[in-house]
Amino acid sequence: MEAWIALITDVGFPIAVTFYLLHRVEGKLNQLIESIHALPEKMK
């Protein structure tokens, strides 16, 4: 049981940070995609 707790402690924090950063990057990628789609209309 202690091995599982140690594993979760060691691996859990990096996984949480990774998911947080991926969530932030996803939002910025969505903004970039929207900007690229709007670009042809702005070029007219």
DSSP 7-26: HHHHHHHHHHHHHHHHHHHH
What does the pLDDT read at residue 7? Answer: 78
What does the pLDDT read at residue 36? Answer: 95
What does the pLDDT read at residue 32? Answer: 95
What does the pLDDT read at residue 8? Answer: 78
Total count of residues recorded for the chain: 44
CA distance 26 to 19: 10
- The residue ranges of the chain whose pLDDT is under 50 are none
Answer whether 0.95 is exceeded by the pTM: no
- What is the distance, to the nearest Å, from the Cα of residue 31 to the centroid of all Cα atoms in its chain? 13
- Distances from the Cα of 23 to the Cαs of 1, 27, 34, 42, 44, in angstroms? 32, 7, 17, 29, 34
What does the pLDDT read at residue 37? Answer: 95
